[in-house]
């Protein structure tokens, strides 16, 4: 009986490792193929797409960088950083008010904020375009900043609020007795205690803003305000596309977010487990 159980345990571990290895191949091979394709020529890519490059040259990466990727990268960094700061700050302040301040109809306010999770961006595109055109914000950096912040605040507030609910209120009461105001208590006491969930929400928003395509495509049309997901499409020509250059641009766009994910995945899991798990 014992030997049978040990044999079944070995079989289960073998299948588990086989599944994990297969999953890793499915996830990592497309990334590896994209990187290798950036070193090829069009003839090599279409002649034998799965072969190794003949000449390991960075010419395609230089062409992609000089072909506009550097500008798109700068815009993406600017939009991502500013929208991350705005979203996390507004959400943390809102979560603090919902959990630490006695306000009328607090449950209704909470329901309205969380109701934003149900609003699909595609439903609001037409009225948003009209509104931004009337306000003179269409095709501008401010359009993306406002949209990225507004559509992520409900989700980020939900996560931070779930974490703040179980924080000890005695700390806030002690701060009030020492003469600290709401802002001081929030900035110097509550916010540092929320470091795990703040880190998670920062990383999640960066992943969202860096890869967002719909808003960036609809609300920007000039090369000076286009982000990487939209800007990379300009590398493709109707009369003949140099696909290795396009793949090189995609690699440049993917490297920052891939590195960020691998470096920050531990914090994402920990923050979400501490927050939603409560």
The CATH fold assigned to 67-276 is MetI-like fold (1.10.3720)
Nearest to 192 by CA among 164, 161, 166, 169: 164
What is the pLDDT at residue 7? 67
What is the pLDDT at residue 193? 87
Confidence (pTM): 0.84
Nearest to 38 by CA among 50, 18, 13, 56: 56
3-state secondary structure of 220: coil
pLDDT in tens, 18-75: 998 998 888 888 889 999 999 998 888 888 888 888 888 889 999 999 888 989 999 9
3-state secondary structure of 31: helix
Q: Is the pLDDT of residue 120 over 60?
A: yes
Q: Label residues 98-116 b or e (16+ Cβ within 10 Å = b).
A: bbbeeeeeeeeebeebeee
pLDDT above 90 as % of the chain:
29
Which of the four pLDDT bands, split at 50, 70 and 90, describes residue 110?
confident
Neighbouring CB atoms inside 10 A of 221's CB total 11
What is the pLDDT at residue 243? 87
243-276 and 141-164 helices, crossing angle to 10°: 30
Q: Name every residue whose Cβ is closer than 8 Å to that of residue 215 and which is 6 or more positions away in sequence.
A: 121, 143, 144, 147, 148, 151
Q: Label residues 141-169 b or e (16+ Cβ within 10 Å = b).
A: bebbbbbbbbbbbbbbbbbbbbbbeebee
Annotated domain spans of the chain: 67-276
What is the pLDDT at residue 271? 64
């Amino acid at each position: 009986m014992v030997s049978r159980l040990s044999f079944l345990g070995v079989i289960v571990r073998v299948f588990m490792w086989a599944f994990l290895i297969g999953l890793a191949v499915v996830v990592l091979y497309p990334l590896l193929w994209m990187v290798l394709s950036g070193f090829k020529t069009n003839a090599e890519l279409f002649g034998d797409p799965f072969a190794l490059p003949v000449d390991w040259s960075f010419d395609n990466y230089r062409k992609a960088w000089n072909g506009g990727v550097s500008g798109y990268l700068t815009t993406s960094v600017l939009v991502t950083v500013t929208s991350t700061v705005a979203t996390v700050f507004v959400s943390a302040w809102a979560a603090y008010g919902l959990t630490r301040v006695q306000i009328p109809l607090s449950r209704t306010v909470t329901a309205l904020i969380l109701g934003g999770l149900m609003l699909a961006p595609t439903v609001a595109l037409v009225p948003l375009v009209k509104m931004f055109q009337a306000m003179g914000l269409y095709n501008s950096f401010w359009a993306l900043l406002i949209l990225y912040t507004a559509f992520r605040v409900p989700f980020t507030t939900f996560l931070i609020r779930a974490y703040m609910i179980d924080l000890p209120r005695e700390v806030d009461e002690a701060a009030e007795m020492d003469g600290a105001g709401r802002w001081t208590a929030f900035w110097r006491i509550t916010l540092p205690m929320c470091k795990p969930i703040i880190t998670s929400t920062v990383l999640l928003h960066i992943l969202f803003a860096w890869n967002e395509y719909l808003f960036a495509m609809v609300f920007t049309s000039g090369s000076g305000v286009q982000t990487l997901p939209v800007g990379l499409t300009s590398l493709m020509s109707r009369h003949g596309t140099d696909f290795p250059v396009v793949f090189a641009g995609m690699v440049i766009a993917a490297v920052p977010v891939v590195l960020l994910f691998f470096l920050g995945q531990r914090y994402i899991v920990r923050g979400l487990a501490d927050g939603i798990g409560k």
